[in-house]
Chain A
Amino acid sequence: GENVEQHPSTLSVQEGDSAVIKCTYSDSASNYFPWYKQELGKRPQLIIDIRSNVGEKKDQRIAVTLNKTAKHFSLHITETQPEDSAVYFCAAGKGGKSTFGDGTTLTVKP
């Protein structure tokens, strides 16, 4: 089955700096790559997703890049703010099923 690895497990940045989280996947047939943000004690919520026919997608301060050949994708957050502090999960999926990474705890220091 699919195997997703996510790095780093924890990330601390200064407010205003950029944050980058990277994921690799094993199944070349995976074609959907969502990113979820989970605040403490709350449910995960989608922040951005990308499909395998696209190499990059941007939504305001958030961007995701996908390298299908290398089977890795990354989340980029620019101009980080304290409210960006949360756990971020990547996932790789096909056919309605997604395998999640173990998450990255992002802390943005004011």
Chain B
Amino acid sequence: SQTIHQWPATLVQPVGSPLSLECTVEGTSNPNLYWYRQAAGRGLQLLFYSVGIGQISSEVPQNLSASRPQDRQFILSSKKLLLSDSGFYLCAWRSFLMNTEAFFGQGTRLTVV
């Protein structure tokens, strides 16, 4: 069976500090990988998605970047966090077959202070 791991679950970081959130998937190969941000009371905003190693598509201009150094590893980063980066970040994977459900990680609650 497939599983997705995302960590940490909660994170409090000062403004201007760097960020690294990691997501790994087990039990599948060549997954599509996604990073979403969920603001309080809002829907899921797609930040980045990747269809393969080193292939990253950015959906919105922002203070964040993503990397996929391995097939089943997806990393969300920032060099200098802003207050507006606070939110609930969700990693997800989907089969490369497309038009299938997305499986979400447990999420990371990021608070920038």
Chain B, residues 35-65, CB within 8 Å of chain A (1/0): the string is: 0100001111110010100000000000000
Which of the four size classes fits the interface of chain A? 20 to 34
Q: Are A102 and B42 in contact (CB under 8 A)?
A: yes
- Bound complex: CA of A34 vs CA of B43, how far in Å? 14
Q: How many residues of B contact A (CB 8 A)?
A: 21
Given contacts A96-B98, A97-B49, contact A45 B104 (CB under 8 A): yes
5 contacts between A and B (CB under 8 A): A32-B98, A32-B99, A43-B90, A44-B90, A44-B104
B residues near A34, Cβ cutoff 8 Å: 101-102
Interchain CA distance A45-B32 in the complex, whole Å: 17
Interface centre among B45, B90, B94, B99 (most CB of A within 10 A): B99
Cross-interface CB contact of B51 among A31, A96, A98, cutoff 8 Å: A96
Give, as a whole number of angstroms, the nearest-CB distance from B89 to chain A.
11
Q: Looking across the interface, which residue of chain B has its beta carbon closest to that of A48? A: B101
